[in-house]
Structure 1
Amino acid sequence: MKMVSPRALRALERFNAAHPWDHNAHYHRWILRQLPRRFDRALDVGSGSGDLARLLAGRAAAVEAVDADPVITAQARELTPAVLPVTFTVADAMAEFPAGCHDVITCVATLHHLPFGQALACFRRHLAPGGTLVVVGLSRARTPVDHLLGAVAVPANAVTGWLKNRGRSTPRPLAMTAPARPADMTFDDIVREAGDVLPGARLRRRLFWRYTLVWRRPPA
C-alpha cells in the first residue's frame, strides 16, 4: 500500500485548520435522543463552552455544568442567557463532584482526562434511580476496526468541515479552544472496565475518533 506523502499530510492539516468544526457537538443531538423529553436535574461533566448544557436546559428543570478550566467556563457563562436554568462551576469533577442525585449525567470528550473506573463509579453513585448516563469519549486506536474507522473519518472530516463552513476559512469554534490531550485507553479496555462498573452499559465505536456509552440505572 502506498503511503501518503508528508507533503499531502501537511496540505490536509492546513485544509482542516482552515475549515474547523466541532466533533463533539456533532453528537449533541444524538445525546438528546437518548434522554427523556423532560427531567428534573442534569449534570454535564466537562462542560467546556456550555453548548450541551444549554441544550439540556431545554428539557431540564436545572442543569449543573462543571469544568476545570476557568477561562472557558467564564466564556460559557457569557454565552448563556440568564433565563436558562444552568449553573456553571469551576471545579475538579472528581475532587468536588456536585452533591445529590441527577436524573441525567453527560460527559463529552472528558472521561479520558479522569481516572476511568473511579469516574464511572462516581457517576453511578450520583445518578438517580431510573436515570441516564451518556458518555461520548475518545479511545486509542489499536485494532484493524479502529484504524479502518480512522481512515474513513479522514476524508469525511475534510468534507464535513468544508460543508459546515460553506467553503470559507473560519476560526476554531470556542469549544475547540479548551485544553486537550490524547486518549491512552483502547476501546476494548474501555468496554471491559465499563462492564465491571456499569453492568449492561451499551458501548459503540463511532466515526470521527469517538465512542459512545449509554447506561440507565435501574429504577429503585
Structure 2
Amino acid sequence: MGLKDGPLWNHNIHFHRVALEAIPNSATSALDVGTGNGMLARDLRERLPDVTAIDVDAPILAAAQRTHAGINWVLADAMTHDFGRTFDVVASVAALHHFEDLESALGRLRELTAPGGVLVIVGLAKATTLGDYARSVPGVVQHHWYSRTRNLWEHTAPTKWPPPHSYTEVRECAARVLPGVRWRQFAMWRYALTWHKPSELLGGSRF
C-alpha cells in the first residue's frame, strides 16, 4: 500500500505532541535520546534553535542526517557520551526500553536535564495487570482507525520486543528517580513520563 497525502504517521510520531507540549517557554536547547530516524529531532528543531540528537546506530543516524538539517547529530551511547553540557529539554520516544538498567537510564537523563528544564519520555512497557490489558482494547481500535485514515509510515530504526520492564516497574522506578514525575498511560501501548527539574535546591545552590 502506498503512502497517502499528508504528514507521516505512526505510533511514535503520534505521541511527539507529548514532548512538544512540554517545552518550557524559556527553552532554547533540546536533546533527543535514541533519535532513530530523527523525526522527533526534526519536530524539536522546528521550535528550538539548538537541537542535539544521539543514537548508537550509524546507518540510521546517517540517513536521518541526510534528511533533516540544522541538527547536531551524535553517534554515541547516551549513557557514556560526554556532552559537556545540559539541555532545557531532554526527550526520548520509544527508546527507554532499549536500556536494560532502567534506574541508571532515568538517572542519566535526569543529569542531562538543565535546572528549570523538562525531561519527557514516551515509552513502551509490558502489560502485567488487568488495567494494562483493559487499556489495550481501545488501543487496538485506535490503531486500526489511524492506520486506515492516516499516512502510515513504518520506521526503519531497530526495534526491541517485548520490552524488558512492565508498566508498574517503570512507574515505580520513575517515582524513585524523578520525584514529582507525572505518569500517563495511553491506549496505544505507550506511557509518558514528564518531569520538571527544579531550578534550585533548598538553600539556593543550583543543580
Q: Give the conservation status (yes or no) of the 8 Å contact 2:120–2:192.
A: yes
Q: Does the 8 Å contact 1:38/1:59 carry over to 2?
A: no
Residue identity in the other structure for 2:29:
R
Structure number with larger C-alpha Rg: 1
Q: TM-score, normalised by structure 2?
A: 0.87
C-alpha displacement of 1:61: 2.6
CA-CA distance at 1:97 after TM superposition: 4.8
Q: Does 1:67 align with 2:55?
A: yes
Larger mean CA deviation between 209-218 and 70-79 belongs to 70-79
Contact kept? 2:30, 2:89, Cα under 8 Å = yes
Residue in 2 that maps onto 1:96: 81
CA contact (8 A) 1:39 1:59 kept: no
Deviations 1:94-127 (A, max 9, x none): 1225231111100110001112110111111121
C-alpha separation between the residues in 2 aligned to 1:177 and 1:56? 20
Contact 1:72 1:178 in 2 (8 A): yes
* Contact 1:66-1:89 at 8 Å conserved across structures: yes
Gaps of at least 5 residues in structure 2 are: 201-207
Q: Is 1:133 aligned to 2:119, yes or no?
A: yes
Q: What is the aligned counterpart of 2:149 among 160, 163, 173?
A: 163
Inter-partner Cα distance in structure 2 for 1:76 and 1:186 = 30
Task: Name stretches of at least 5 consecutive residues in structure 1 with no aligned partner.
Answer: 1-14
Shift of 1:38: 4.8
In the alignment, what sits opposite 1:146?
132
Equivalence map 1:1-220=2 (5 Å): 21-81=9-69, 84=70, 86-114=71-99, 115-165=101-151, 172-173=153-154, 176-182=155-161, 183-220=163-200
User: 3-state SS of the aligned residue for 1:24?
Assistant: helix
CA distance in 1 between partners of 2:186 and 2:15 (Å) = 10
Structure-1 separation of matches of 2:42 and 2:131: 34
- Write the deviation string for residues 103-153 of structure 1: whole angstroms up to 9, x where unpaired: 110011000111211011111112111010000001100111111111221
Q: Which amino acid aligns with 2:97?
A: H
Alignment size in residue pairs: 194
Which deviates more, 208-217 or 88-97?
A: 88-97
Conserved 8 A contact 2:24-2:117: no
**Amino acid of the residue matched to residue 113 of structure 2?**
L
